[in-house]
Amino acid sequence: MASGGEGGAGGVEWHGRPPNPKNPIVFFDLTIGSTPAGRIKMELFVDIAPKTAENFRQLCTGEYRKAGLPVGYKGCQFHRVIKDFMIQAGDFVKGA
């Protein structure tokens, strides 16, 4: 990783390389209960992993469909949080 710097609204931004303006940015607006808790923004590296980035983008936007119904991260809950490391969400396809 190159550097971490303070982002807007008290957030932290991590950059392993300069952003590529051709790569899409997606975001998750988070809540704890019904209280807004901030936004996570992610650059998708279509220049490195185009298929993976596009699949993830569609899950973030709700464009992906299964049996005609939108499938994605909207309303999905995080069930595992490891501070300063990662977050893990449930199985939104099965509703777990």
List, for residues 3-40, the tens digit of each pLDDT value.
Answer: 344 444 556 666 678 888 999 999 999 998 899 999 99
- For residue 77, the 8-state DSSP code is P
Residue-range domain boundaries for the chain: 3-89
For residue 84, pLDDT beyond 60? yes
What is the spatial distance between Cα 77 and Cα 29, in angstroms, rounded to a whole number? 12
**pLDDT for position 93:** 64
Write the class of the CATH domain 3-89: mainly beta
**pLDDT for position 15:** 67
**pLDDT for position 63:** 92
Two tokens, residue 35: 């209280």
For residue 52, pLDDT beyond 50? yes
What is the spatial distance between Cα 82 and Cα 71, in angstroms, rounded to a whole number? 26
